[in-house]
Amino acid sequence: MKPDVHPDYHPVVFKDANTGAAFLTRSTATSARTIDWETPDGTTTYPLVVVEVSADSHPFWTGRSQVLDAAGQVEKFRRRYGYPPAGTG
């Protein structure tokens, strides 16, 4: 690889603002905030990036997603604008 071309890829702690869950990964993201993280070799200080949504709070991953009642919306539209019910013509 060419020197001075690629961004610095380093360990970073991401913290979910909603749940407080944090995880250590590698990233090119930078931050002035830091956090002490317990590792097998002892406590290490890493940059901290706070995110609004992570897998810990996203509705798709937590199973708390809302299901839209599409059939009910179609029937409501048909009643409002005088269309015949579905399947009648």
Return per-residue pLDDT of the chain as tens, 89 residues: 688 898 899 999 999 988 899 999 999 999 999 999 998 999 999 999 999 888 787 766 666 666 566 677 778 888 888 877 666 65
**Which letter, b or e, does each residue of 4-27 get, where b requires 16 or more Cβ atoms within 10 Å of its Cβ?**
eeeeeeeebbbbbeeeeebeeeeb
63 burial type by CB count under 10 A (0-12 exposed, 13-18 middle, 19+ buried): exposed
CB atoms within 10 A of CB 83: 13
Q: Residue 86's pLDDT is what?
A: 65
Alpha helix segments (H runs only) across the chain: 59-62, 70-81
Domain edges within the chain: 10-81
User: Residue 7 contacts by C-beta under 8 Å, 6 or more apart in sequence?
Assistant: 28
